[in-house]
Amino acid sequence: MESPFKADALKGKVALLTGGGSGIGFEISTQFGNHGASIAIMGRRKNVLDDAVSSLRSLGIPAVGFEGDVRKKEDAQRVVEATVKHFGKLDILVNGAAGNFLVSAEDLSPNGFKTVMDIDSVGTFTMCHEALPYLKKGGPGRTSSSGGFILNISATLHYTASWYQIHVSAAKAAVDATTRNLALEWGTDYDIRVNGIAPGPIGDTPGMSKLVPEEINNNVREDMPLYKLGTRWDIAMAAVYLASDAGKYVNGSILPVDGGLWLSKPRHLPKDAVKRFSRSVENRSRAKPDGVPTSKL
């Protein structure tokens, strides 16, 4: 789809994205690049990085990839510094690296729980911490009088509760808390905006294929307010909005982009039966007026 934003909405910006080589992260990388940003991608798999960088460059987008694990402070520091060395500065950090799989709480080992927490929540904070010197107002390489921007990708799983997702729900709740706290502290002290996006089910992504197999895909759509899955483009456009001047007064917000799914529950009554049952209940109520019940005492 054609972007509603101007092609130069992010002109001159330098963005570093973890998890930016595949799925939602790659679409954000692409759209940031299409809107004028230079792109650095951090990931653990060299082949994924190479393919992503090659694709971005084929579109005329300045791009570079760096191998690294967000769980390791030394990797985070090295990649942030390498990005600044390559492009001269850092304006935007997107934390999209994540781990996920379906598992019941009783079958999930403490180590499995810890692994997802380390990637999603600890990794997010680690990247933010190492990027701070370059994102804050007046930081090295910054020609602007304002600070940079941090975007953390979370989820809506923890808004209520989710079957077989206790590890990710806990990790994403921590990511959202990190987003709000950094927005408060770093927004005040360093003029850095920190926001989040909470995607819903997004079609044609590795996460969707693992968490919602084709066998149950159709049933899931029936429970969604918009009756369709989201696309990677939907998430990327939300990211462009928040990263651009259009979102310059948005700070500490987590934007759900899920078609309203987190608000919904499966229908327990067909729509065409609502009025019929409602009238029936109302008629019974009128036929038996309320009154003070007699007591046997």
pLDDT digit string (tens) for the chain, length 297 residues:
899 999 999 999 999 999 999 999 999 999 999 999 999 999 999 999 999 999 999 999 999 999 999 999 999 999 999 999 999 999 999 999 998 888 899 999 999 999 999 999 999 999 999 999 999 999 988 877 789 999 999 999 999 988 889 999 999 999 999 999 999 999 999 999 999 999 988 876 555 555 554 544 555 556 666 556 789 999 999 999 999 999 999 999 999 999 888 887 666 556 676 667 666 766 766 776 555 556 565
Q: What is the pLDDT of residue 275?
A: 67
Euclidean distance between CA atoms 9 and 47, whole angstroms: 30
Euclidean distance between CA atoms 137 and 153, whole angstroms: 23
* Calculated CA dihedral for residues 57, 60, 66, 70, nearest 10 degrees: -110
DSSP label of 105: G
Q: What is the pLDDT of residue 227?
A: 57
Assign 64 to helix, strand or coil: strand
Farthest-apart Cα atoms in the chain, separation: 86
- Contacting residues for 201 by C-beta, under 8 A, at least 6 apart: 208, 211, 212, 220, 224, 229, 230, 258, 261
Pair 73, 130: CB distance under 8 Å:
yes
Q: What is the pLDDT of residue 145?
A: 78
Euclidean distance between CA atoms 268 and 266, whole angstroms: 6
**Distance separating the N- and C-terminal Cα atoms of the chain:** 73
Domains, in order of start, for the chain: 14-287 (3.40.50.720)
Sheet holding 63-67, edge to edge: 63-67, 38-43, 14-18, 92-95, 149-153, 193-199, 254-257
Whole-prediction pTM value? 0.87
Q: What is the pLDDT of residue 152?
A: 98
